[in-house]
Structure 1
Amino acid sequence: DLTGRLNRDARHHLHLVPGPGSVFRYRVELQEGTIVFPDTAARTHPELAQLELLAVKIAQGPCHKVAGSS
């Protein structure tokens, strides 16, 4: 499942550097450790693609406004 794969990545302190064409970088802190990856990592890591989609959905949800923005 997604949680198990992400926890495995976190235990191994997965840190993928951005390559050509990368626009966004993600940093996710879990109890098992931290995962750092660029948006281009989703091509080779399906679990990161799912995590990226979750981040986008959260950003577009009711909490999408940053404090002080209109």
Structure 2
Amino acid sequence: MTDDLSKALASTVRAAREERGLTLAALADISGVSRAMISRSSTVTHSPPRPCSPGCPARSVSPCRS
């Protein structure tokens, strides 16, 4: 994700959650998404995902950067 897109997503997730008066835990319960993932989505301080190595088993189940 580009920096601008990451910032826009983080801002949107955080604002929507706060407008509804939801904590991270409450949103996680309602959405079925982990609290950690919601936290990562609502901040842009996390590191971008590392690319998978050619032999990585995850390559067959999810898109990986080459």
TM range (shorter): under 0.3
Report the TM-score, using the length of structure 2 for normalisation: 0.26
Larger radius of gyration: 2
Bigger helix share: 2
Bigger strand share: 1
Report the TM-score, using the length of structure 1 for normalisation: 0.25
